[in-house]
Amino acid sequence: MTDRSFPEALNKQIANEFGASQQYIGAAVFYDQQTLPRLAAFFYRQAAEERDHAMMMIQYLIDVSEPVAIPEVAAAESRYGAVIDPVRMALEQEKTVGAEIYALFELARETKDYRGEQFMQWFVKEQVEEVALMSDLLNVTERGAESPLLIEDYLARDRGRRRIL
């Protein structure tokens, strides 16, 4: 009999991914309201990416004939005190998601769920990229906090170096 703990944990992660997507929409709304369109677009794209991650997890569970639980998602914050606050939130969120992903990978390995372990490898690599991306954006935002248009300029110029635009 298969150990069901990995599929159950993956269902919980689906909720976390949808929650992260909603929170990124909240950050995007904040930047849209501040007339910072590149920051808004960046976070709208991040929201879509987190949603895509949840959908990948759903599809995996369907493919391996495991039950899927579609979660309730809490309301997202869209009010922040300073231009830097959503980026700080995003970096902390990515670190948290990274820890969750690593724990899922370890769980799959411990329970000898080889399909689950293989599936999670992509997410492990993705989290390394996401933390690096948010760390870079935080560095730029800290330097440009007093002149947010400098951050907008950075996002316009940094196309392609990392998946910012």
Instruction: Using the predicted structure, report yes or no on whether residue 1 has a pLDDT greater than 90.
Output: no
Three-class SS state of 21? helix
Q: Going by C-beta distance under 8 Å and a sequence separation of 6 or more, which residues neighbour residue 23?
A: 76, 77, 89, 93
What does each C-alpha distance from 42 to 46, 68, 112, 113 come to in angstroms?
A: 6, 30, 38, 35
Instruction: Using the predicted structure, report yes or no on whether residue 74 has a pLDDT greater than 90.
Output: no
**Phi and psi based region of residue 66 (left: phi greater than 0; alpha: psi -120 to 50; beta: remaining):** beta
- First and final C-alpha spacing in the chain: 46
pLDDT in tens, 24-73: 999 999 999 999 999 999 999 999 999 999 999 999 999 999 999 988 88
If you compute the radius of gyration of the chain from its CA atoms, what whole number of angstroms results? 17
Does 1.10.260.40 match the CATH number of domain 5-157?
no
Q: Both tokens of residue 113? A: 């769920």
Average predicted confidence (pLDDT) for the chain: 92
Within 10 Å of residue 1's Cβ, how many Cβ atoms? Answer: 3
